[in-house]
Amino acid sequence: MSLVRLAHFSDIHVVAAARWRLGDVFSKRLTTWANLRLLGRGAQFRETERVLAALRADLAERNFDHLIFSGDATAMGFEAEIARAAESLPLTLPGLAVPGNHDYCTPAATRSGAFERHFAPWQLGERLDAEVYPFAQRVGPLWLIAVNSATANRLPHDARGAVGKPQLDRLRRLLARLADIDGGPRILVTHYPIARPCGKPEGKMHALRDVRDLLDVARAGGVDLWLHGHRHDVYHHPKSATMPIASICAGSATQTAAWSYQELAIEGRHLVGSVRPFRGGLFVGGAEYEMEL
């Protein structure tokens, strides 16, 4: 059995100077800005540049087989922020990226394809047709399957996501088409979680609207593990009577004091997760846990 080492990080929330248009004032961007500048969220990401430099160095040095980014590259979904985030990450190494709700902050940001343009090196893979999502990447004996669960929302307090019926249908067909590689695990990567750290469903305005449908398609398609971000705390749920698929939340790589990413070492169906927190200017070894997939 071969050992595969993955790095999973999320929710880096890069801010960059950007030009506002009139439409931005009447969009969710304004409340996101107020959150950032007036309500203290910006202070939580003040050190993002420095932390990303350390993350980039650690990812390169640890020689992972594959890097996984589960979204929220930006604060307000401006193209300048997406470009800055992409420049800060080692996009020359093999990787996979999906957007988060902040990257699709407005309908125009979603339609622009800016996330997909700047993260193109991490969006190569097998797909059914010209649609970007879902897509699959093979890493040794396992499959990584990228699903977009972010949507632009209009109401200020709305942080929900959705996969949507057309993408669910493509995912069903893609999973059916993927070759079985010696029974290796299938790992779904998306921004939204299955459940909160306590195991209960996400809050109504923070949740994936069609999480049940995605779970049904993923289970039927043999998905063994669900990697996500969106929540900025680090936690995992093994498969159980109440949790149909094992899941891992990477937390935020750059939020002050919560900053960390995860190393996932998978051999056969056995996973060892190691949290790597940012301490004293570097990412260092932290708590470990084990899971059977």
Contacts to Fe ion from residues 6-25, by CB under 5 A: 11
Separation between Cα atoms, residue 227 and residue 145, nearest integer Å:
10
Could you tell me how far CA 255 lies from the centroid of its own chain? 15
Separation between Cα atoms, residue 87 and residue 223, nearest integer Å:
32
Cβ of residue 141: shortest distance to Fe ion, in angstroms? 31
Cβ of residue 153: shortest distance to Fe ion, in angstroms? 11
Per-residue contact string for residues 72-101; x = within reach of Fe ion by CB under 5 A = x---------------------------xx
Of the pair 77, 100, the CB lying nearest Fe ion is at 100
# chain residues binding Fe ion, by CB under 5 A: 5
Cβ of residue 206: shortest distance to Fe ion, in angstroms? 8
278: Cα within 13 Å, side-chain hemisphere: 26
Of the pair 95, 100, the CB lying nearest Fe ion is at 100
Cβ of residue 207: shortest distance to Fe ion, in angstroms? 11
Of the pair 77, 185, the CB lying nearest Fe ion is at 77
Separation between Cα atoms, residue 55 and residue 93, nearest integer Å:
13
Of the pair 227, 293, the CB lying nearest Fe ion is at 227
Contacts to Fe ion from residues 229-288, by CB under 5 A: 230
Task: Please name the residue that has the structure tokens 């996101």.
Answer: 32
Contacts to Fe ion from residues 131-170, by CB under 5 A: none
Separation between Cα atoms, residue 185 and residue 73, nearest integer Å:
27
Cβ of residue 192: shortest distance to Fe ion, in angstroms? 8
Only one of the segments 5-13, 73-81, 122-130, 139-147 lies at the binding site for Fe ion (rule: CB under 5 A); that segment is 5-13
For 55-72, letters b (16+ CB in 10 Å) and e give beebbeeeebbbbbbbbb
Only one of the segments 3-11, 29-37, 47-55, 58-66 lies at the binding site for Fe ion (rule: CB under 5 A); that segment is 3-11
Of the pair 100, 221, the CB lying nearest Fe ion is at 100
Only one of the segments 27-35, 55-63, 67-75, 237-245 lies at the binding site for Fe ion (rule: CB under 5 A); that segment is 67-75
Cβ of residue 290: shortest distance to Fe ion, in angstroms? 27
Cβ of residue 64: shortest distance to Fe ion, in angstroms? 22
Residue 137 CB-density burial (10 A; 0-12 exposed, 13-18 middle, 19+ buried)? buried
Cβ of residue 8: shortest distance to Fe ion, in angstroms? 14
Contacts to Fe ion from residues 210-239, by CB under 5 A: 230
Of the pair 48, 271, the CB lying nearest Fe ion is at 48
Of the pair 131, 233, the CB lying nearest Fe ion is at 233
DSSP-derived pairing of the beta strands 246-249 and 235-237: antiparallel
Of the pair 48, 101, the CB lying nearest Fe ion is at 101
Q: Which parts of this chain interact with Fe ion (CB under 5 A)? A: 11, 72, 100-101, 230
